[in-house]
Structure 1
């Protein structure tokens, strides 16, 4: 089958770690040999590429076309209107991508369906494109597109419209399916297909050697994620004040860094916090393997891939009890869920983990049940059924 993957959540040459989970799922699907794909991953238009313009300068440097792991990826530009453009975003995104999609068809890539990721604005735009080109659309809900954005009136209406007009919907956890149904979506259309973990890339290494190479000594926590408020890095830093002798590594970049550094100084734990900056995914396994626990204190998560990546390296996790996370951390070998999302909650969960620390081999075995094969098989069944039904209606 031929699919067109449509999403703004896709890595590129400038931001190779951006939404890498979408690319990873697609790579495994294409790797099955049953699917051919092209990717249309629009980026916001911006006229200047200088680094002083921050993320907008980054957008300007993204190439118009590139190839990643054998996948042809196109990056058409779409207009973004700051502050006032949220309601118009799906229309602007669909309109900007229409010529690119049409050109793919003209060049002979007559795809069978559109595989869209993230409901708003991407999924709404994808359903518009599907109607324009008479192609069925499958939208994957991934987290804040369902847990946060529907609180806004107009986006909620458009998400409900897209769910109703999509041929099928995938959610990365059961919790997101429940929320979509509460928004009025047809439960018969929704299939939960959780993310997997690359068990070859993320695997236990020589722990002592890794700790020596990375300069790690004593009980060490690792926190992985963009330095943004919802990730709760401030709570993990706050927990250090309640955990004498415990150190913290933070892998990620973002606007919150200065505030987090100031918080560490204020709490007098700066000597126990190390900011690593953005760490390439290929290097993350070394940090997972060297740490004693991975902490994720997010306020929202659909299906947090970092949890399984850590477990696959043999390192248990401490995580906030939100959305799909209880579906990931579902056994003692996996780690501990916080009883409350606070600095105290992080500290208490770390203390509980240390008091009954799981065998690292058992943590690895737990992660092994989350390979990508089941997800790939689920997509093939779902996509095949959608294409068959669409063909009968032609």
Structure 2
């Protein structure tokens, strides 16, 4: 099968962790040797290449094309209009990509189907493109595209339209499927295929050595993710007042870093909170491997990959009880779900974990249930059924 993978959520040279879950799933699919794919990963157009212009200045420096893990990736530009951008985004994205995808076909890569990730605007634009090029489209819903974006009337209508015309749909957890059914989408057209974890990359190391190398002392917590309100880092920082013997390391970048640093100072816990900035996965695994727990206090998550990454390194988690997270944290050896998403809820859950702390070996064994094999097989079956190629 020849696929065209289409998503604005895909890593690039400037933002190597952006949408890395899309790339990882594709890498495992390609490893089956039953699929080929080329990636079209559009980025917003911006005229100035300089970090002083923030994320748009960074995006302007993204190369037009690159090869990642042997996969050909192009990064064509598309217009984003401030303020009205959300409503116009699918149409603008589709219009900008028509000549790009036309060239892909003209160059000899006449793909069988479009593999689109993130329902809005990417999935909607992909269905527009699929109808134009007469190609079936499969859309993967990943989180905020379903649990937040449909709160807006026009995007909700466009998501329903795309769902009606897509050849198939995937969700990364059952909770997202339930939400899509609530939007009026037929359940038999939705296939839940949860994300896996790279068990070779994320695995336990020499815990004492990792802690010593990173200055980890006492009961050490990690909080990993983009520094913005949805991830709830501020709740973990506030919980440190109730966890006087704990240390917190925060990995990630984003617009709220200064606000979070100021909060740590205001609450007089700054001496026990350290900001690490963005970390590549090859280094992040070492921080997981040295920590005593990962804390994820998000308000919304489809399927939080950081939870399985931490568990695969033998480190249990404390997580907010939202969306697909209970499907990930489903046994004591995995960790603890918060009773409430508040600083007290974080602190209580950390203390609960401490009181019945699982062995690192048991946590690793739990993570080993989540290989990518089932997800890869599920994709092969779905695409083959859509293309009339029989069972995988």
Q: Secondary structure at the match of 1:88?
A: helix
The 5 Å alignment of 1:283-362 reads 283-362=283-362
The answer for the alignment partner of 1:70 in structure 2 is 70
The 5 Å alignment of 1:1-394 reads 1-388=1-388
Q: Secondary structure at the match of 2:194?
A: coil
CA offset at residue 83 of structure 1?
1.2
Aligned residues: 390
CA offset at residue 389 of structure 1?
7.9
CA offset at residue 173 of structure 1?
0.1
Q: Secondary structure at the match of 2:388?
A: helix
Q: Tell me the distance in 1 between the aligned counterparts of 2:61 and 2:362.
A: 44
Q: Tell me the distance in 1 between the aligned counterparts of 2:257 and 2:62.
A: 24
CA offset digits 1:71-117 (Å, max 9, x no partner): 00011100001111211100000011111111011111110100000
Q: Tell me the distance in 1 between the aligned counterparts of 2:267 and 2:119.
A: 39
Q: Tell me the distance in 2 between the aligned counterparts of 1:312 and 1:75.
A: 32
Q: Tell me the distance in 1 between the aligned counterparts of 2:336 and 2:228.
A: 23
Q: Tell me the distance in 1 between the aligned counterparts of 2:112 and 2:22.
A: 19
Q: Tell me the distance in 2 between the aligned counterparts of 1:377 and 1:284.
A: 28
Q: Tell me the distance in 1 between the aligned counterparts of 2:179 and 2:60.
A: 36
TM-score (norm 2): 0.99
Q: Tell me the distance in 2 between the aligned counterparts of 1:140 and 1:387.
A: 17
Q: Secondary structure at the match of 2:368?
A: helix
Q: Tell me the distance in 2 between the aligned counterparts of 1:18 and 1:112.
A: 26
Q: Tell me the distance in 2 between the aligned counterparts of 1:182 and 1:246.
A: 41
Moved over 6 A (4+): none
CA offset at residue 321 of structure 1?
0.1
TM-score (norm 1): 0.98
Q: Tell me the distance in 1 between the aligned counterparts of 2:80 and 2:290.
A: 41
State the superposition RMSD in angstroms. Answer: 0.9
Structure 1 gap ranges (5+) = none
Q: Tell me the distance in 1 between the aligned counterparts of 2:53 and 2:85.
A: 20
